[in-house]
Structure 1
Amino acid sequence: MPDANGLFDPDRVAVVGATDREGSIGRAIMENLEEFTGTVVPVNPSRETVLGYPVANEIADITDPIDLAVVVVPPDIAVEATRELGEQGVKNVVVITAGFGEAGSEGATREQELKSIAATYDMNLVGPNSLGVMSTPSRMNATFGPANARPGKLSFMSQSGAFITAVVDWANDQGIGFKDVVSLGNKAVLDESDFVDIWDDDPKTEVILGYLEGIGDGRGFIDVAREVTKETPIVLVKSGRTEAGAQAASSHTGTIAGSERAYEAGLDQAGVLRAENVQELFDYAQILAGQPVPDGNGVAVISNAGGPGVMTTDAIGDSNLEMASFDQETLEGLREALPEGANIYNPVDVIGDADNERFEAAIDLVLADSNVDAAIVVATPIAVLDYGKLATDIGTLQEKHDIPVATALMGGERIDAPARTLRESGIPNYFDPARAVTSLDALLTYRDITRIEYEQPQTFDVDRERVQEILETAAQRSNRIGVEAMGILDAYGIPTPEGAIVETPEAAQEAAESISGDVVMKIVSPDILHKSDIGGVKVGVSEDGVRDAFEDLITRAKNYQPDAQILGVQVQEMVDLETGTETILGMNRDPQFGPLLLFGLGGIFVEVLEDTTVRVAPVSQREATEMLGEIDSAPLLRGARGREPVDEPALIESIQRLSQLVTDFPAILELDINPLVASPEGVQAVDSRLTVDPDKL
C-alpha cells in the first residue's frame, strides 16, 4: 500500500461536497475541521466560499497538492470525484457517501468501480459508507460526528460509524483520549489489517483498538497482527456471526466448528486480546497503554476494607494471576508499620481507620517485595483518608518500583479527581475490584503473547498428484466423498489401515484373505454419510463370513435408500479400539479464515461431548502440540487410569499433515477423520469423509 502519512497527518485536506447548508453532512465536516492546524480546501461547483473558506469549484481547479480528500457527494458523483482525485495525484481519500456495497447490486457495482480506481491510482481509500477519520495531534476531525476526541495514546478503528460517535462521547466524559480514530465503512480498499500495519509504525500509538463485525481476509489478518503484537497490543470487540456459521454442515467438524470458533481461534493465533464488551475494551486499553508488563504472575492486594479485599482475592483465583507470598523482610516491615489486628499477609488489610501515611507505607513495602509482580490497591472512603493524596502517592510509588499497579478507589464523585490523577500516571482506576483483576490478567496475557516465537509450518514430502487424481475422479460422481478417499490421507502420510474397496463378493473374499485376522466391512456410498445408523458397518468379520457380509451390506443400503449411488464395500484391517483412544481430526473451510482445523475426542460421542479445539491452518508444530493439551480429555492421551500414553508425536504430525493437505487443496471444503485412533504404537485413520468443490479442482 502507498504511504499513509497523509491520511492521519495531512497538511492540506479537500472536502468534495463541502457546503454551508444547515443540517448537511458537508457542513458538519467543515465545522469539525475548523480546529485543524492545516489547510482546508472546500470543493463545491455553486459556492464561492463555505464557512469563510475560499472554494474550488472543480477538483481540477485545486492547484496545490492535496494530502487527504474527503468525499461527501451522491454515490455516482462520488465515483467520478474519486477518479478525478486520482488524476490529480491525491493518494488518500475518505468516501463518506453511502449507497455502495451495502445497497444492493447497483451499489456493489459502484463499489467495484471505487476499488478499480484506487488500484489504478495507487490510492489509500477509506470507506465508502464511512463516518470519516480523526487524528488529534493535528486536531483533524474529518468526520460528521458531534464531538472531537481527546488527545491520547490509543488508536481506534470501527466498522460502525455510530459506535464511534458513542465511544468518543463516552471516552471524553471518562478522560480517555485517542491518537487516531477511523470509521472503516465498507472496507472497499483499506481494511483492519491495513490499519493495524499503519499504526504499528506510529510511535504515538501505544494500543490499537477495534470494533469489528467481520474480518475479510482472516489469514492475512493473522499474519499481519502476530508481527504487530510483538510491540503494540491489539484489543478487539468482535460482534455478529456470519451466515455461514449458522448454516448446517454435513461434517462433524462443520457442525462443531462454526464461524465464531474460527474468530476465536484466528484472533488467538494473531496474538489479539479479545474483549467481550466496550467496558473491557477500554479497561484493557488503559492498563496496556499505561503500565509495564509484569515479569511474573504474583500479585499483591492492599486494602483498607476486608470485604472488597476478599472479593479481589476471589477474582484473582479465577484468573491466571497468583497471590504472591511475601518475603520475611516484607512481613517484618508490615508488622512494624501496621497496627495490631492488621493482616500482614496477602491480601494486606491496613484496617478501616488507616490514614494516608499508613496506606503509603504498606504499598511501598509490598511493591518492594521481589515476589510481587503486580499490585492492586483497593480503598473505600473514610474520613481520615484523603483520596487525592492517596492517588498521588500510588503514582509516585508505582514509578519508583516500576511494576504494574491497578486501583479500585471505590466511591462516587469523590473519586473523579483522584481518578484523573491516577490516569496521568498511567494507572487505571476501577470501581469494581474484579475489573482491576481482569485488566491485570489481560496485561499478563499480553506479556505471554510477546514471548511467543512463531514458527513456520513444517512441509512434508507428499504425493499431491495422487490426491488431485483421487479428488477429480470422485468429484465426477459426487461432491461428497466417503471412505473411498482414504487414499488421500495415505498420500499425505496419515496412516490408514490396510484395505481395499471392492465391488463383488469374490473381490471381498480376496481382499480379506490378504489381511491377517478378522476384518471390518463398510458400505461405500457418497449418499449415505452415517453408515452405522443403517447397519452399514460390520466389525470382526471372519474370512468365512465375508461373502455373506458383502451381500447383506449391499441389501441394507439399497433398502435404506434405493436411489443411493453404491460404489462397493470397503474391506479393512481391524484396528484395536481397546488399547487405543478414538480422536477426531477434521477441517471446515471458513469463509473469512479459510481452513479451520479441529481436534478432539472422537468416535460416536464427538457431537455429544464436543470436547474439541480448533486452529486456523496452516499450523506449526507448536500450535499442533497446543491443540492436544487444550481438550478436556487430554489426560486420556497421557495415560489416565493405568492406560499407556498414546504416541503424541504421531498425533501432532497427523495434525500438521492434515494442515498441509487442506492448505494445498482449497477444493476440500470439509473433511472428517473419525475416528483417528491413537495408541502407544502410533495413529490410524479408521474412517473419513470429505466435501469437495469441483470448480476449484
Structure 2
Amino acid sequence: MGRDLSALFDPVSVAVVGASDDPAKYGHAIAAQAVRANGRRPVHLVNRRGGTVLGRTAAPSLSAIGEPVDLAVVSVPAAGFEDAVDEALRCGARAIVAITAGFAETGDAGRVRQNAVAERVRAAGAVMVGPNCLGLADNTTDLFLASDTFTPGGVALLSQSGNLALELQLRFRPHGLGFSRFVSLGNQADVTLVDLLADCARHEGTRAIAVYAEDFGDGRAFAEAAADAGKPVVLLTAGRGDASARSAQSHTGALTTSADVVAAACRDAGVELVATPRELTVVLAALSGGRRAADHRVAVLTDGGGHGVVAADAVEATGLAVPELREPTRQRLCEALWEQSAVANPVDLAGMGEQDPGSYAETVAALLAAEEVDAVLMTGYFGGYAAAEGGLGGGGAALADGEQAAARLIAARHRATAKPLVVQSMYPDSPSCRTLAAAGVPVFGATEDAARALAATATGSPGSQGSQGSPGLAPLPSPASPMRESGYMETRAALEAAGLAFPAAREIHDEAELLATAEEFTGPYVLKALHLLHKSDAGGVALGLAGPEELLAAFREMHARLGASAYSVEAMADLTDGIELIVGVNRDPRFGPVAMVGLGGVLAEALHDVAFTLAPVPADRALHLLRGLRTAALLDGVRGRPPVDVAAAARAVETITTFAAAHPEIAEIEVNPLLVRPDGVLALDSRAVLD
C-alpha cells in the first residue's frame, strides 16, 4: 500500500513557519502562495516577531496558534530548524515540508543532524519532505506551498530542480499539459522519491508522472514502484554517462557504466527515459491521451517529398518501421487523391492539398483505418493555409476555411480510433494545428519530436520503454549461503552446483599431480594459471594441448614464467560450430545486481556487443536480449555453420544471473566464454569478485 501521504497533499490545516513580508525571503513567497487557498483550509502564518505578514495577523510560534496544525512548512535559518520541527510535532503536525537548507548537502555533520530530525519525525508518526527543498503543490486539493504557480493538469512532477519545473511549465503550455502535483524532493531524509512515486500512482488526479532525479537512493525500489505504477512514468536524469566509481576487475565491470544501468532499469520497469526537458515534454504529450500503437508500423503522410523522406528516416531511426502499404489501402488512396499523388508510404499528396485541403482528412481517415498501419505521422505544410502569414498561408480565405474544416474532420477521426496520430507542421501555432491539439492530437514543429512521440506510443519498440511493452522486473531470490572464497575453482564449483555445465577440470600444484590428472581424462587439454583475473592477458592459458607430453611442456614453461601457486588442467571443449558469449553480473550500489549478456571471448571489450538488464534474468527475457545483439545472426548460423542452441544459452543466463542475485556479497561475476554449441552450452571460464 505504501506510506500514507494524505497529510502532505490534502492537510486539514497549514502553517507557514518563517512567513515574512520581506520579498527576498523564501518564507514570503511560500506564504503568498499558501494564502491563495485560504477558503479550502485554515492557513496560519508564523513569524517569531508576531505582528502582521501579508496583512494577516502572524502568530509568534506554532504553539501560539492555539489549535492543532496538520502540515507545517518550515522555512527558517538552519540554527532554528530542529526546534521548529519539534514544536510542529508537539502541535500535532502529521506532515512537514522542510525548506531549510544546510544539512546532508553540506557534509557528514549536516547529515547526522538531518538523520536525527528524520528519526524524530518518523517516531512521531509524521512524514517530512526535504530538508533543502522548494516546497510542493497539489492543484487537485488547492494546496500551494511552492514559490510559483503551476497550471492545472494531469502530470505529477517529482523533481530535484525547481527551475526545471518552471521550464516545463513553459514547454507544456502549447500541448495543453499541466500539473496535478509538484514536489521538490530535496534531500529525501524521510519521504523519498519512491514514496512519492507510489502515492502519485494511486492519485486519481494524476495521469502521468514526470521525474527529474540525480540521486535515486534505492534505485531498485524506484524501478519496482515505476513498474507497478499503472500509468506512464517519464524520467529525466543527469550524470548517466559517468562510469562506476569502483574500479572494475572484470570485463563485466569494465563494460558497465551508469548510463547502461539506468537505461536497463528504465526499460525493465517500463519507464520512458529522456535526455532533455524538451524530450520529456514530447513524450508526455504523446502519452497523455493514453493511446498505444499495437505494433511498430507507421504511415507517413506528407504534402511534399522532402518532408516525407525526412520524416520516414526519423521514424525508422527510433526503431519503428515505415512499410509499404498493401494494395487495398493504396487503391482507396488512389480513389481519394489525384494521379500524381504517391500512395506507397510515405503517402505524398503532391500538391493536392492546395486544391482541396479536405484531401488531408480523407487520407488520414484511410491510413488510420488500414490494418497494416499502427500509427500515422502527418508532416509538412498542414496549418500553413490558415496561418496568419507565410507562403500559401496568405493565399485566400477559402483555403484557410477548408483547412480548418479538414482539421475538424481529422480531429473527429482521431477521436473515433485508438491509433496514435502525430502531426509535424511548419506552422504548429496556426489555428488549424491548434484545433488538432485541442482534440488531443500531439502537434510539433520539429520532425524529430514527432518521431520520438510516436516511439513513445509504440509498445515495446527499441526507442520506447513504454509500460505495456516492458519485460517487467523479476523478483530477487532469497539470499543464499554466502561465498567465502572467490577463486577460480571455488567460483566454478559454486556455479556447477547451481546447474551450469563446465568441462572436466582438476586443480594441480606440481608435475606429479598434473600427470595423474592427465590419466583421468583424455586430451586435448587446457592449462590455466590460477589466481589471475585476466589469465589470457597474462599468458596464463594454453589451449589445445594434444597429450600429456604437450601438457607437461606447457606447464613447465608457464610455471617458469608466472610461478603461480596452482593451475587447472581441463578437458578441451570442442569449439567447432560454437559461439562464445559473455554473461556477467555487476552489483550497482543503487540498482543492485545488473546483468550483461553479449558476444564474448577475448574480444568482449573490443567488440562491445552487449545488452544490459536487471538481474535475475528469466530465460525468456535472456532469449530476447540475445536476439537483440548486433551479431545475433551468428546464433542462427552463417556461411554454412549450423545454428546454435540459443534456448540453452538463455537457460544458462538465467542460472548465472539468479546465482549472482542470490549472493549479495558478490560485487562482480562473469562467465566468459560461455560456449554455445548446436547441442547445448559449456562454461569455459568464470571469475568472481567479492565485495
Work out the CA distance in 2 between the residues paired with 1:508 and 1:642: 39
1:411 is aligned to 427
Work out the CA distance in 2 between the residues paired with 1:379 and 1:535: 61
Name the SS for the 2:23 alignment partner. Answer: coil
Letter paired with 1:256? L
2:57 is aligned with 1:54: yes
Task: State which of 400, 406, 412 in structure 2 corresponds to 1:385.
Answer: 400
Structure 1 residue 83: Cα displacement: 3.0
1:113 is aligned to 116
Task: State which of 584, 590, 600 in structure 2 corresponds to 1:592.
Answer: 590
Work out the CA distance in 2 between the residues paired with 1:25 and 1:455: 42
2:228 is aligned with 1:217: no
Task: State which of 528, 550, 553 in structure 1 corresponds to 2:555.
Answer: 550
Task: State which of 437, 459, 462 in structure 2 corresponds to 1:445.
Answer: 459
Residue by residue over 1:228-282, the C-alpha shift from the partner in whole angstroms, topping out at 9 and shown as x without a partner, is 1xx3011111211487625541111000012221111111111111112211111
Contact residue 227 and residue 473 of structure 2 kept, 8 A: no
Task: State which of 622, 643, 646 in structure 1 corresponds to 2:644.
Answer: 646
Work out the CA distance in 1 between the residues paired with 2:608 and 2:348: 44
Residue by residue over 1:193-244, the C-alpha shift from the partner in whole angstroms, topping out at 9 and shown as x without a partner, is 222211111222111111121321122122221121xx30111112114876
1:563 is aligned to none
Contact residue 2 and residue 91 of structure 1 kept, 8 A: no
2:354 is aligned to 353
Contact residue 406 and residue 440 of structure 1 kept, 8 A: yes
Work out the CA distance in 2 between the residues paired with 1:458 and 1:34: 47
2:534 is aligned to 530
Work out the CA distance in 2 between the residues paired with 1:328 and 1:535: 63
2:510 is aligned to 504
Work out the CA distance in 2 between the residues paired with 1:326 and 1:643: 36
Contact residue 155 and residue 208 of structure 2 kept, 8 A: yes
Work out the CA distance in 2 between the residues paired with 1:85 and 1:655: 53
For normalisation by structure 1, the TM-score amounts to 0.89
1:477 is aligned to none
- Superposed, 1:129-278 pairs within 5 Å as 129-144=132-147, 147-172=148-173, 175-228=176-229, 231-241=230-240, 245-278=244-277
2:601 is aligned with 1:578: no
Q: Relative to structure 1, is the Cα distance of residues 322 and 597 closer, same or farther in structure 2, using a 3 angstrom cutoff?
A: closer
- Superposed, 1:92-107 pairs within 5 Å as 92-107=95-110
Work out the CA distance in 2 between the residues paired with 1:349 and 1:675: 51
Q: Relative to structure 1, is the Cα distance of residues 169 and 301 closer, same or farther in structure 2, using a 3 angstrom cutoff?
A: closer
Contact residue 208 and residue 284 of structure 2 kept, 8 A: yes
Letter paired with 2:441? I
Letter paired with 2:459? T
Name the SS for the 2:211 alignment partner. Answer: strand
2:388 is aligned to none
- Superposed, 1:394-405 pairs within 5 Å as 394-405=410-421
Work out the CA distance in 2 between the residues paired with 1:550 and 1:332: 75
Work out the CA distance in 1 between the residues paired with 2:671 and 2:460: 35
Q: Relative to structure 1, is the Cα distance of residues 664 and 343 closer, same or farther in structure 2, using a 3 angstrom cutoff?
A: closer
Contact residue 268 and residue 472 of structure 2 kept, 8 A: no
Name the SS for the 1:665 alignment partner. Answer: coil
Structure 1 residue 456: Cα displacement: 4.9
1:302 is aligned to 301
Q: Relative to structure 1, is the Cα distance of residues 237 and 675 closer, same or farther in structure 2, using a 3 angstrom cutoff?
A: same
Letter paired with 2:262? Y
1:4 is aligned to 5
1:676 is aligned to 674
Stretch of structure 1 that moved more, 217-226 or 2-11 = 2-11
Contact residue 483 and residue 689 of structure 1 kept, 8 A: no
Q: Relative to structure 1, is the Cα distance of residues 510 and 434 closer, same or farther in structure 2, using a 3 angstrom cutoff?
A: same
Letter paired with 1:48? G
Letter paired with 1:632? R
Q: Relative to structure 1, is the Cα distance of residues 545 and 399 closer, same or farther in structure 2, using a 3 angstrom cutoff?
A: closer
Work out the CA distance in 2 between the residues paired with 1:367 and 1:614: 36
Work out the CA distance in 2 between the residues paired with 1:41 and 1:441: 48
Name the SS for the 1:10 alignment partner. Answer: coil
Q: Relative to structure 1, is the Cα distance of residues 338 and 291 closer, same or farther in structure 2, using a 3 angstrom cutoff?
A: farther
1:32 is aligned to 33
Contact residue 304 and residue 354 of structure 1 kept, 8 A: no
1:610 is aligned to 608
Work out the CA distance in 2 between the residues paired with 1:88 and 1:677: 67
Q: Relative to structure 1, is the Cα distance of residues 534 and 440 closer, same or farther in structure 2, using a 3 angstrom cutoff?
A: closer
Stretch of structure 1 that moved more, 581-590 or 116-125 = 116-125
Contact residue 427 and residue 433 of structure 2 kept, 8 A: no
2:531 is aligned with 1:494: no
Letter paired with 1:523? A
Work out the CA distance in 2 between the residues paired with 1:65 and 1:262: 46
Gaps in structure 2 of 5+ consecutive residues: 385-391
Letter paired with 1:60? S
Q: Relative to structure 1, is the Cα distance of residues 349 and 630 closer, same or farther in structure 2, using a 3 angstrom cutoff?
A: closer
Name the SS for the 1:148 alignment partner. Answer: coil
Structure 1 residue 439: Cα displacement: 0.4
2:656 is aligned to 658
Work out the CA distance in 2 between the residues paired with 1:293 and 1:241: 28
Q: Relative to structure 1, is the Cα distance of residues 299 and 139 closer, same or farther in structure 2, using a 3 angstrom cutoff?
A: same
Work out the CA distance in 1 between the residues paired with 2:118 and 2:150: 30
Structure 1 residue 65: Cα displacement: 4.2
Q: Percent identity?
A: 32
Work out the CA distance in 2 between the residues paired with 1:304 and 1:649: 48
Name the SS for the 1:445 alignment partner. Answer: coil
Aligned length: 666
Work out the CA distance in 1 between the residues paired with 2:574 and 2:476: 30
Stretch of structure 1 that moved more, 240-249 or 82-91 = 240-249
Residue by residue over 1:71-106, the C-alpha shift from the partner in whole angstroms, topping out at 9 and shown as x without a partner, is 111224223322332333322222111111111111
Name the SS for the 1:661 alignment partner. Answer: helix
Q: Relative to structure 1, is the Cα distance of residues 348 and 678 closer, same or farther in structure 2, using a 3 angstrom cutoff?
A: closer
2:527 is aligned to 521
Contact residue 38 and residue 138 of structure 1 kept, 8 A: no
1:561 is aligned to none
2:147 is aligned with 1:122: no
Residue by residue over 1:506-562, the C-alpha shift from the partner in whole angstroms, topping out at 9 and shown as x without a partner, is 11211221122232112122xx3333334322223322344444333222114xxxx
Residue by residue over 1:375-403, the C-alpha shift from the partner in whole angstroms, topping out at 9 and shown as x without a partner, is 22334222223465544343223113443
Work out the CA distance in 1 between the residues paired with 2:460 and 2:199: 20
Name the SS for the 1:613 alignment partner. Answer: strand
Work out the CA distance in 2 between the residues paired with 1:218 and 1:285: 22
Work out the CA distance in 2 between the residues paired with 1:679 and 1:292: 43
Name the SS for the 1:245 alignment partner. Answer: coil
Residue by residue over 1:107-159, the C-alpha shift from the partner in whole angstroms, topping out at 9 and shown as x without a partner, is 11122113312321233321221111122234433113xx3111111111112
Letter paired with 2:193? E
2:436 is aligned with 1:427: no
Letter paired with 1:493? G
Q: Relative to structure 1, is the Cα distance of residues 205 and 420 closer, same or farther in structure 2, using a 3 angstrom cutoff?
A: farther
For normalisation by structure 2, the TM-score amounts to 0.89
Letter paired with 1:543? P
Contact residue 534 and residue 556 of structure 1 kept, 8 A: no
- When the two chains are superposed, the root-mean-square deviation of aligned CA atoms in Å is 2.7
Name the SS for the 1:78 alignment partner. Answer: helix
Work out the CA distance in 1 between the residues paired with 2:492 and 2:257: 25
Work out the CA distance in 2 between the residues paired with 1:29 and 1:458: 43
Residue by residue over 1:609-631, the C-alpha shift from the partner in whole angstroms, topping out at 9 and shown as x without a partner, is 01111111122222222222122
Structure 1 residue 14: Cα displacement: 1.5
